[in-house]
Amino acid sequence: MPYSNKMQRSHIFSTFYAPRGRKRIYELGIQFSQLYLSPFDKIIGVIGEPGSGKSVLIKGMFPGLELTNDDDGVNVRPLPLLEKDDDSNFFTPHTYHVDIRFEMGFTQPAVLAEAIMQTVYRGKRVIVEHFDLIYPFLPMNAHLLIGLGEEIIITRPNLFGPYPNEIYETVNKSLPYRLMAHTSEDLCEFCMPEEELMRCEHDDVKHGFIIAFPNDKPEIDIPELEKKVKALIAQDLPVCYADEGHITINGALHPCTGPRTHVPGTGCIKGFGLVDHFIYDGYNSRWLLVGCVGEDSAENLSKLSHIV
């Protein structure tokens, strides 16, 4: 497997928070392309469940690439990867995209695998979503593997791994925390005063979320806010995608920068809790509202509560 330099040969794992919102995932994709992508990489494997942000990350890494499973429901047909015409002329694409989970509904995996390898042998590059599903039919691993769950894992496999199923197991296990955290974050915003909602920012913490307020400490009663959010969780209200800038919570429209990354109902959120005071971030002059979710949230909240 070719590599471009010694740094990439030595690279094992890098881990990043999977951020909230399209803009931040786009920016992370640009960062990945600058730090990790080699011109010799022919197969880029992307692994993760729907709603994890795979397509947005790919668009950040490969600006202008036509995705065959567009988020707006437009599916490119016929699939360019399967076109049998001679693609050696100047105007044929250098980079192709394929969503294996979607395409397996129409094409046998062995046919897709053969098309991927033929494309690679012609010197082209293929971005493969749900790479773990096609890997058993390929004679090689991806040159670069990216997994999206609560965190984003990026790795350059060698003969001894890591293997796609290992990446899938890791990110699939962690994704529910991200979905619960993002939904809890929106519920907090849903219950806070509009003037605070308009100025807040988003940041990340493991198994939780951060809502940041620049400069002035917000006038929010945290125990009361936690009580309101827990009441919404207890009602198991539906949370639905509305458009690229909004979700609905029990039918009420709410602005959201990551509208596809949520649990379907508030009752899916487990272990929600808030640190009972604002934490001051002196490096960035902002006040932080910190929340946690999951079965270990009480322990995490206890640790974070000591930070002032």
Least confident of 20-24, 32-36, 39-43, 217-221: 20-24
| pTM, entire model | 0.87
Does 264 map to a domain? yes
Q: What SS3 class is residue 265?
A: strand
pLDDT band at 2 (very low <50, low <70, confident <90, very high): very low
Lowest mean pLDDT among 87-96, 148-157, 269-278: 87-96
Would you say residue 167 lies in a domain?
no
Same domain, 16 and 114: yes
Residue 168 in any domain: the answer is no
Residues 135 and 191 in one domain: no
Domain with 228 in it: what CATH number?
Answer: 3.30.980.10
Domain containing 106 equals 6-162
126 and 193, same domain (yes or no) = no
| Phi-psi category of residue 150: left, alpha or beta, with phi > 0 → left and psi -120 to 50 → alpha | alpha
The Cα 52–Cα 151 span in angstroms is: 10
23-37, 49-63, 78-92, 274-288: least confidently modelled range? 78-92
CA distance 238 to 248: 8
Mean pLDDT of 84-89: 56
More confident residue, 114 or 306: 114
Same domain, 118 and 144: yes
On whether both 113 and 186 belong to a single domain, the answer is no
Helices (H), ranges, 201-286 = 222-234
CA distance 159 to 164: 12
What is the per-residue pLDDT for 4? 44
150 part of a folded domain: yes
Beta bridge partners, 194, equal none
Q: Is residue 1 part of a domain?
A: no
Residues 152, 180: one domain?
A: no
- The answer to whether residues 35 and 157 belong to one domain is yes
Alpha helices in 13-142 (DSSP H): 22-35, 54-61, 100-103, 109-121, 131-134
**99: helix, strand or coil:** strand
Position 245 pLDDT exceeds 50: yes
Residues 122 and 257 in one domain: no
pLDDT, tens only, 159-212: 888 999 999 999 999 999 999 999 999 999 999 999 999 999 999 999 999 999
- Structure confidence by residue, pLDDT tens digits, 258-303: 899 999 999 999 999 999 999 999 999 999 999 999 999 999 999 9
Same domain, 94 and 32: yes
**pLDDT value of position 1:** 41
Amino acid at 227: K
Q: The domain that contains 85 carries what CATH number?
A: 3.40.50
pLDDT at 99 over 70: yes
257 or 250: whose pLDDT is higher? 250
Specify whether 184 is located in the same domain as 153: no
> Which pLDDT score, from 0 to 100, does residue 88 have?
58
Domain count, the chain: 2
Cis preceding linkage at 78, omega within 30: yes
Instruction: Please report whether residue 169 resides in a domain.
Output: no
